[in-house]
Amino acid sequence: MKFVSTLFLLFLLAIPSFATAAEKEGMILIPGGVYEMGSRKSLMELNPTDIFNTDRHTLGPEDPAHEVDIDSFYIDMYETTNAQYEEYVKATGHKASSYADNERFNGPQQPVVGTTWKDAKKYCEWRGKRLPTEAEWEKAARGKRPVKFPWGNDIPDDTKANFDNHLGKTAPVGSYPAGKSDYGVFDLSGNVSEWVNDWHYPEYYIFSPKKNPQGLDKGQYKVLRGGSWRNNAEDIRLTYRNATIPKLQNNSVGFRCALSANEAN
């Protein structure tokens, strides 16, 4: 009997690992398919005549709720940390983040802040990845249900997210397991707002393509998603869209990387 058990153990050890390189790097596979992006409440309140209003923000940046069809992709389980970014800086000679010497924000497992959009893009490329699109980011946050926050519809509290200046700074990534999304992605609400690939355009949801929307080719502002440790509860909901100049470097904006499933191995 002991001989049989030993043989079985050797058999198990001989089975190759089927985890992809992306999964071994701490990425989560998000299955492709159709989901509803944006705010359904905004859709119900939408006045079609607002399309012609000279005030470009009349529609609201989450209007209207609409279906998108995205391909499968991987996304980092956690926001990019200071330790990871420091590795990049040492390997490439790229400039350090603007908060690298700030003791409130430079802990190894805190998310890196003080990086521009281009800094974030270059880091992801160095890792063989890219920034997620806005549609991918929301799919990772929304999970498998029509929810308001990554964890569901429960009102945010300090067990689910770092928000509303509760800590007065960023928390180490992964500090809120109760707030992770259905797919197991952490800190999609609060902690740091996250750079995504898309240029911001208030009315983009009206004419965006259904299949793998990428945003416009150019613009003035880049989209931020997820809200930060500074934002109130309403502004860390998963449909909330913010935008800023791509050269911004402050202590509430970070990022995570993504990778198309067909590029993973």
What secondary structure, in 3-state letters, does the chain show? CHHHHHHHHHHHHHCCCCCCHHHHCCEEEECCEEEEECCHHHHHHCCHHHHHCCCCCCCCCCCCCEEEEECCEEEECCCCEHHHHHHHHHHHCCCCCCCCCCCCCCCCCCECCCCCHHHHHHHHHHCCCECCCHHHHHHHHHCCCCCCECCECCCCCCCCCCCCCCCCCCCCCCCCHHHCCCCCCCCCCCCCEEEEEEECCCCHHHHCCCECCCCECCCCCEEEECCCCCCCHHHHCCCCEEEECCCCCCCCEECCCEEEHHHCC
Q: Give residue 146's pLDDT.
A: 87
Query: Going from the N-terminus, what domains does the chain have, and what CATH number goes with each?
Result: 22-263 (3.90.1580.10)
pTM: 0.87
> Please, are residues 236 and 189 in contact by the beta-carbon 8 Å criterion?
yes
Average pLDDT over residues 220-246: 95
Is the confidence at residue 8, as pLDDT, over 50?
no
Amino acid letter, 93: G
CA distance linking residue 20 with residue 76, whole number of Å: 13
Cβ neighbour number for residue 171 with a 10 Å cutoff:
21
Is the confidence at residue 9, as pLDDT, over 50?
no
Is the confidence at residue 13, as pLDDT, over 50?
no
253-254 vs 193-199, strand pairing mode: parallel
Average pLDDT over residues 139-167: 95
Q: Give residue 145's pLDDT.
A: 87
| pLDDT digits 0-9 by tens, 91-133 | 999 999 999 999 999 999 999 999 999 999 999 999 999 999 9
Q: Is the dihedral of CA 179, 181, 185, 191 positive or negative?
A: negative
Is the confidence at residue 11, as pLDDT, over 50?
no
Q: Give residue 209's pLDDT.
A: 96
First to last CA, the chain: 39
Q: Give residue 245's pLDDT.
A: 95
CA distance linking residue 234 with residue 153, whole number of Å: 12
Nearest to 191 by CA among 154, 133, 141: 141
CA distance linking residue 104 with residue 102, whole number of Å: 6
> Please, are residues 168 and 216 in contact by the beta-carbon 8 Å criterion?
no
What is the band of 203 on the pLDDT scale with cuts at 50, 70, 90?
confident
Is the confidence at residue 137, as pLDDT, over 70?
yes
Cβ contacts of residue 20 below 8 Å, gap of 6+?
Answer: 29, 74, 264, 265
Average pLDDT over residues 215-219: 94
Which of the pair, 6 or 161, is modelled with greater confidence?
161
Q: Give residue 86's pLDDT.
A: 98
